[in-house]
Chains A and B, each alone.
Chain A
Amino acid sequence: MNATFAQRLMPALGALTLAAAGLLPMAAQAQGSLVLYCGVNEDWCRAASTAFERETGIKVAMTRKSSGEILAQVKAESSNPRADVWWGGTGDPHLQAAEEGLTTDYKSPKVGELQDWAVRPWEQTKGRTVGIYSGALGFGYNAKVLKSRGIPEPKCWADLLDPKFKDEVQVADPNSSGTAYTLLATVVQLMGEDKGFEYMKALHKNVNQYTKSGSAPAKAVSLGETAVGITFMHDMISVAVDNPDVKTVAPCEGTGYEIGSMSIVKGARNLDSAKRWYDWALTPAAQEFGAKTKNFQVPSNKAAPTPPEAPKLAEIKLIPYDFAKYGSSDERRRLLAKWDREVKPLSK
């Protein structure tokens, strides 16, 4: 090596080192901070974490991801956890995390204030996850599109099998979406496994696309790309408030539902802050941020007011959804494999 090389390389290396050092973490675990993985919509996440910061002075580092992504990430990080609280998102991944020991148990003094359906997962997992909101499965349609095609408005699950709906129904792929898995589990519980799969096969003939994301059919309905979309009702309502053509339906036969949940990550670095968030998130005041940001799920605290736009759980025929059975990894894997084998490859 000669001087020219060294002279030239050294500043470059120096610059690299400085730039790199600037990006190294400056210990985000200082007292009074919280790392939050948020599984609901961005606005809701932001509103809640800002309010919590203001109230407690604890600095919240919030990252929003889908529940599947959060589970994958928590799993990958399990040997050196980064997150403290996993807040929101459909219940199945929370149950799975609890099953795999990725989350830890906590008995909040607020558990007593919750609806029964919110406490059930908490009991089931020995305190590892708790319900914070719930939403019923349903479908929505674009009234304008239906009218232009002369198709009657559907009211029940059975209506969707009408050949008139050929290529007009959109639903997510249960392999990729918890929403669609909830549909599968719902019809299996509603009709029995054999009849349920018959239903899925018949529905398959009318499905124009299995989307990847669970809420995508709601957007497709709003744009008129499909006439009917099967989603959680609150996802459909979110687009319906902006587009009067979109109508939301609670199926007449009864339907399943999800329990949006919350868990504390095992090995959380800021356990005290995590517990404060946990307690806070179960209060009625905290649960109102959903409705404030146009997310119309039903809150789990008995004292929290249900937003007027939200589907009234009392008015919907809810099935006694067996979260213990259908939330377990084995049963899920079995049903998905069966769907893959018997429904997906069918021609239309």
Chain B
Amino acid sequence: MPRHAPASIEFRSVTKRYGTVTAVDDVSFTIEPGTLVTLLGPSGCGKTTTLRLIAGLEIASAGEILIGGRDVTTQAAADRNVSMVFQSYALFPHMSVLDNVAYGPKVQGLGRARAHALALEKLELVGLSGLGNRSPSELSGGQQQRVAVARALVLEPEVLLFDEPLSNLDAKLRRRVRDDIRDLQQRLNLTVAYVTHDQEEALAVSDRIIVMSNARIAQSGTPRELYEEPASVFVADFIGNANLLPGDLLREEGDRAVIQVGALTIDLPRRGASRGPVTVAVRPDAIRLHGTQPSSPAIQAQVAKAAYLGGHVEYTVGSALGELFAVDRTDRTPMPVGAPVWISFADRDVTVVPR
């Protein structure tokens, strides 16, 4: 098996229609070689279709798809040097674990012995040596997942795709498998496209994230860019549960702006906004709650819900600006429901959202 260098993935105005429904609408992006890029979005946003377009399981209705600089738009899945880990793992139930992993090399025409050697190597890589003769149904969920990864890796593809790989695992396992995948990707220097609807998962593993909404790209960037500078209300809300508050841009001062939010006046990077009403995204961590009225201006509110979560306390508070979601990491004693509170904002994690 020739060792393939990781390849880039490029979409040029790709559209996929099913009858009258448009699943992917004029999407363009580039995934650099050797990076892990997540396609993130709510269900039905087109992220899985995008992944399947990369795999060749769907053929684009319009536009071009390039892998490693080669046009593969009309190429069938079998002709692309791409492997995929399925949400359901899609392990062949009638084959042993070893046969599952050796399937790829076998159908590529490698001999049985060579295929098995490759498969054993990958099984070892995912830490499943010795389980080759089991049938998939005799393995735990996590083990099955790793078989699926080994099977996808065995052809050493230019591009590796993951479709919601963690959705069938329990919470504890998720974290470990997530780290394993990231580790593997970096160790083997793979190009990975990764579909998930879980923003935390996306933030944790990705080099870059492409957020999709309604068949289009809402924003793409590094996890930090998305978190700190959401390009839209949708992204701000979807990543990090931002509180979206109505504000009024009073003055533009170069690339800064002075904005009135309720009783507060804040100074933020302008991000292209102009005078008039704006939306301000405030992360739950950026909301400071005060049990007594502070000397500086503050928004008055009332505790509606409080949940003790060990390391921090989560609050839902009612205010004139609407319901706000806040996290308090300083004081572990929850305030009683109904207590009056005053709100101010931290310096970070407050941003103007472009309209």
Contacts and interface: CB of A to CB of B under 8 A. Distances in A.
A8 to B, nearest CB: 12
Interface in A1-28: 2, 4
Contacts of B107: 4
Interface string B57-84: 0000000000000000000001000000
Interface secondary structure of B, over-half rule: helix
Contacts of A4: 107, 109
Interface in B101-132: 107, 109
Interface string B299-331: 000000000000000000000000000000000
Contacts, number: 3
Contacts of B109: 4
A207 B109 CA distance: 74
A2 B79 CA distance: 10
A71 B330 CA distance: 102
Interface residues of B, number: 3
Contacts of A2: 78
A7 to B, nearest CB: 10
Give the size range of A's interface with the partner.
under 10
B268 to A, nearest CB: 58
Interface in A315-346: none
B184 to A, nearest CB: 30
Nearest to A3: B109
A2 B107 CA distance: 12
A75 B248 CA distance: 94
A205 B109 CA distance: 78
Nearest to B108: A4
A4 B109 CA distance: 9
Nearest to B109: A4
Nearest to B107: A4
B112 to A, nearest CB: 16
A4 B107 CA distance: 9
A83 B247 CA distance: 98
Interface string A193-223: 0000000000000000000000000000000
A80 to B, nearest CB: 47
B13 to A, nearest CB: 30
Contacts of B78: 2
A166 B109 CA distance: 79
B208 to A, nearest CB: 35
A4 B78 CA distance: 12
A104 B109 CA distance: 66
A312 B114 CA distance: 89
B355 to A, nearest CB: 52
A2 B109 CA distance: 12
A245 B262 CA distance: 114
A221 B107 CA distance: 68
A17 to B, nearest CB: 27
Nearest to A2: B78
A116 to B, nearest CB: 78
B159 to A, nearest CB: 21
A196 B206 CA distance: 98
Interface in B216-255: none
B218 to A, nearest CB: 39
Interface string B144-157: 00000000000000
B104 to A, nearest CB: 14
A4 B106 CA distance: 12
A4 B79 CA distance: 13
A86 B245 CA distance: 98
A4 B108 CA distance: 9
Interface string A116-148: 000000000000000000000000000000000
Nearest to B76: A2
A2 to B, nearest CB: 8
A5 to B, nearest CB: 10
Interface string B87-113: 000000000000000000001010000
Interface in B279-305: none
Interface string B13-36: 000000000000000000000000
Interface string A248-273: 00000000000000000000000000
B328 to A, nearest CB: 62
B103 to A, nearest CB: 13
A154 to B, nearest CB: 71
A291 B131 CA distance: 80
B81 to A, nearest CB: 15
A2 B77 CA distance: 13
A139 to B, nearest CB: 66
A196 to B, nearest CB: 68
3 contacts: A2-B78, A4-B107, A4-B109
Nearest 3 A-B pairs (CB), nearest first? A4-B107, A2-B78, A4-B109
Interface of A: 2, 4
Interface of B: 78, 107, 109
